[in-house]
Amino acid sequence: MTPQRISKILSANGIASRRGAERLILDGRVYVNGVCANIGQSADLGIDEISVDGTPIAKSENPVYIMLNKPCGYLTTVSDDRGRKTVMGLISDVGTRVYPIGRLDMQSDGLLLFTNDGAFANKVMHPSFNKQKTYEISVRGDVSNALPKLKMPMLIDAHEVRAKSVTLIRKTDGGGILSISIGEGRNKQVRKMCESCGLHIKTLTRVAIGALELGSLEPGKWRHLTLKERRLLHGVNEQE
């Protein structure tokens, strides 16, 4: 393993959010090889012993990969200092510590992945691996006017973004159902794209990551990924 910031290691192992991990370090609760850790310090979990409140962090010997159909109203974080509901409460029966790969904002639902395999998480999240994410959005507004705009490059938070694909699934009274795929993963990107085109979002559901689809998994439920599904996320399309 390569050295990483301690706050990132704590977050990746489900101990706390990145901000929460920094608070643990500042409070003197994190030690590396018996020495109190500092903000910005790096370590190698394969070599160094990192402990929180005296309990060492151990790398899991059995990698776990699951998908959750996240409902609205849950934060995608391992903990929340304001006592709000987090996705961790929905997977408490997994049997081992896992952490979410990427995010879905509180008012969005759909496909969310969890693992304890850092290399796998990086491959799914990092833009260089080009894992397209697809969303179905119920909107209110003039969809005929918005569609051409959604297909063009636009500035979101001072960054140029462009949808990989935009499709009108069907029109509804006062709006429609859209399918939008993106390659980036900027904060609330799809919401901001739609809003910039005059559309009001009623529901937003992530239905696929790459070739992996949410399917019929019920809201609030989780299941293990199959070997075939893990291969799809790695870009290998073959039979089990």
Residue 16's CATH number? 3.10.290.10
Domain match, 32 and 80 both: no
Kindly tell me if the per-residue pLDDT of 93 is higher than 50: yes
- pLDDT, position 12: 73
For residue 19, what pLDDT is reported? 86
Q: Which of 105, 109, 117, 142 is catalytic?
A: 105
Q: Which residue has the higher pLDDT, 216 or 15?
A: 216
Domain assignment present for residue 153? The answer is: yes
Residue 174: inside a domain, yes or no? yes
Q: How far apart are CA 147 and CA 141, in angstroms?
A: 11
Helices in the chain by DSSP H: which ranges? 6-12, 18-26, 118-125, 143-150, 189-196, 227-233
CATH code (residue 155): 3.30.2350.10
Residue 238 placed within a domain: no
Q: In the annotation, is 53 catalytic?
A: no
Residue of 122, 98, 95 whose CA lies nearest to 1 = 122
Q: How far is CA 155 from CA 61, 133, 158, in A?
A: 43, 19, 6
Band of the pLDDT at 109, cuts 50, 70, 90?
Answer: very high
Residues 142 and 190 in one domain: yes
Distance CA 114, CA 221 (A): 13
Residues 204 and 94 in one domain: no
> Which candidate, 236, 237, 216, 199, places its Cα nearest to that of 67?
216
Residues 111 and 226 in one domain: yes
Identify the domain containing residue 78 by its residue range.
65-128+215-233
**Residue listed under structure tokens 């759909």:** 110
Residues 138 and 200 in one domain: yes
User: What are the pLDDT digits (tens) for 125-171?
Assistant: 776 666 899 999 999 999 999 999 999 999 998 999 999 999 999 99
Q: Are residues 140 and 122 in the same domain?
A: no
